[in-house]
Structure 1
Amino acid sequence: MAAAKHHVTIKGVKEGLVFLLDDSCEFSEVLAELKHKLEKTHQQILTGPIIHVHVKLGSRVVTEEQKEQVRGIISSKGNLLIQSVETLDPSHQKTDPDPAEVRMVRGMVRSGQTLTHDGNIMFMGDVNPGGTIISTGSIYIMGSLRGMAHAGVDGDERAIIAASHMRPTQLRIAGIISRPPDEWGLGDSFDTYMEFAYVKEGKMEIDKIHHLHKFSLNQYT
């Protein structure tokens, strides 16, 4: 299967979201992927309360009409409020990967399989019993986690693990291992709400995803 192209990267920052648009491909490809992500693959995380958005076009030379096309697509989502649409001087292009970038991967991790990733990952699919997902950053699973997940594998205790349906065999963040799931104390909400795991004072804690806003976004990216 051919590797998916990624011309649009969406990352969370303290002020909201930053959209990073590839400046090395055709502009029409960027618009098509931007529209697809907002309407299809990222619909779950781009709904809800008002979110401030900054758009980075890289060193691409664009017209005002092209900027308006970008604004129009993003503004079609009623909760996304555009704060800026910016281009960069070529001399200011970054050379190192952004540690806050979240890479999206689709698929399924079956028993005996291990998916590894360098950085933050959003996995669109299920991790089955006996399957493992490992990342140096945070792990966001838009599906069921019924296998093992290890975030911050290089020692980053700021990483989190989130899943739409959290039924893991084991969770690890850096060198910290979770308690058994039946000791998490989430009650009936365990089956109906997305949860996330994080480290607090050297221990792993589990909470509902809507409490994530209480924490610093910078801490978990």
Structure 2
Amino acid sequence: MKGTKDGLTLHLDDTCSYDDLLTELDEKLTGNEYQNVDGPLVSVHLKLGNRYLTQDQEEQLRTLIRAKKNLVVASIDSNVMTKEEALEWKQKTEVVSVAKIVRSGQVLHVHGDLLLIGDVNPGGTVVAGGNIFILGALRGVAHAGCYGNKEAVIAASIMKPMQLRISDVMNRAPDYKAEERNEMECAYIDDNDQIVVDRLQLLTHLRPNLTRLERRF
């Protein structure tokens, strides 16, 4: 048990039985210095370690702590996840590589980042939960960060989209003269909550965490 500026952090034993854990937690919290009927609410952060709890068990813990007057559970963190949760996390974080042409009427949808080697023709649509990188021409619709990620970006060798969407922000790319399109471009949401299209080289400054691995030679 440790008090911090964010409230009370409880590191729970992950080697004992669940019933023993409940009993010991109840004893620890009864009469502790944070249990003050007239005091403000204290946020409790539970650290489970290598223990997995079902939803019913989590609710039991919340109920036990709520019974201690001014204590309320703010977060529950565990090092363990279910197979389904692991697969969902993998889908949302992996880069999916696809080599094809997305033609009119077709929709290509991935949960994580999309690396498309090919064109998106007018009337075609690509959708990703993360970023979209197109090694080809984007002439259709691209929707990045479709689950609400406003940090997502769209990059293409040739940026001539019918429509760009990032999270819930939507617009079409600005018109350029043909001679001005001589380099890869990227689209991102700026500080004014608008989609901006600019040189790809700016991404290293705008999204420094975009590249997870940097190779050194």
TM-score band, normalised by shorter chain: 0.5 to 0.7
Pick from 190, 198, 207: which aligns with 1:216? Answer: 207
Residue 103 of structure 1 and its aligned partner are, at CA, apart by 1.8
- Residue type of the alignment partner of 1:198: Y
Question: Which residue pairs with 1:198 in the alignment?
Answer: 188
1:210 is paired with a residue whose SS is helix
Cα distance in 1 for partners of 2:211, 2:190 equals 12
- Distance between the aligned counterparts of 1:160 and 1:188, measured in 2? 23
Structure 2 contact 91–111 (Cα < 8 Å) conserved? no
Q: Which amino acid aligns with 2:94?
A: E
Q: Is the 8 A contact 1:166 1:190 kept in 2?
A: no
Is residue 2:143 matched to residue 1:135? Answer: no
Structure 1 gaps of 5+ residues are: 1-93
Q: Does 1:176 align with 2:169?
A: yes
Pick from 110, 114, 122 the counterpart of residue 117 of structure 1: 110
The aligned residue for residue 151 of structure 2 is 158
CA contact (8 A) 1:138 1:220 kept: no
Rounded to whole Å, the distance in 1 between the matches of 2:179 and 2:188 is 18
Question: Which residue does 1:18 correspond to in 2?
Answer: none
Cα distance 1:180–1:125, how it changes in 2: closer, same or farther (>3 A)? Answer: closer
**RMSD of the alignment, in Å?**
2.3
What aligned pairs does 1:70-89 form with structure 2 within 5 A after superposition?
A: none
Cα distance per residue 1:46-66 (max 9 Å; x no partner)? xxxxxxxxxxxxxxxxxxxxx
SS in 2 for 1:108: coil
Q: TM-score, normalised by structure 2?
A: 0.52
CA–CA separation in structure 2 for the residues paired with 1:190 and 1:102: 30
Task: Report the Cα distance in structure 2 between the residues aligned to 1:103 and 1:112, rounded to whole angstroms.
Answer: 21
| Aligned position for 1:87 | none
Percent of aligned positions that are identical:
41
Rounded Cα–Cα distance in structure 1 between residues aligned with 2:211 and 2:166: 12
Q: What's the TM-score, normalizing by structure 1?
A: 0.52
Q: CA deviation at 1:187?
A: 5.5
Q: Is the 8 A contact 1:168 1:181 kept in 2?
A: no
The 2-side partners of 1:190 and 1:181 are apart by 12
> CA-to-partner distance for each residue in 1:188-217, whole Å, 9 max, x for gaps?
664211000000121111111112111233
Structure (1/2) with the larger strand percentage:
1
Structure with greater Cα Rg: 2
Mark the runs of 5 or more structure 2 residues left unpaired by the alignment: 1-84, 213-217
Aligned length: 125
